[in-house]
Amino acid sequence: MDGSPGERIELRKRIATTLGERDWGDIDLILDEFGFQLIDPEGWSPGPYVLAVTKGEAAERLIQLDEWLHPSSVSMPDPGDPTENTPFTEDEQLEIARRLVEIKTHMETAHDLSSDQMRSLEGRLNYLQEAAGRMGRVDWRNAAAGVFLGTIMNAMLPGEVARDALVTLLQTVGHMFGHPMLELPSGL
Which pTM value belongs to this model?
A: 0.47
| Residue 80 domain-assigned (yes or no) | no
Same domain, 44 and 117: no
| Residue 183 domain-assigned (yes or no) | no
Same domain, 66 and 98: no
Domain residues for the domain of 10 are 5-73
| Residue 130 domain-assigned (yes or no) | yes
| Residue 85 domain-assigned (yes or no) | no
- Alpha-carbon gap, residue 48 to 129, rounded angstroms: 54
Same domain, 69 and 98: no
- Alpha-carbon gap, residue 145 to 97, rounded angstroms: 16
Same domain, 166 and 110: yes
The domain tally of the chain equals 2
Same domain, 101 and 170: yes
| Residue 184 domain-assigned (yes or no) | no
| Residue 94 domain-assigned (yes or no) | yes
Residue-level pLDDT, tens digit, the chain, 188 residues: 556 788 888 899 999 999 999 889 889 989 988 889 999 989 999 999 999 999 988 888 888 888 888 876 444 444 445 557 889 999 999 999 998 898 888 888 888 888 888 888 888 889 999 999 999 888 888 888 777 777 655 556 677 777 777 777 767 776 666 655 444 444 43
Same domain, 44 and 97: no
- Alpha-carbon gap, residue 82 to 162, rounded angstroms: 26
Count of CA atoms in the C-beta half-sphere (13 A) of 60: 1
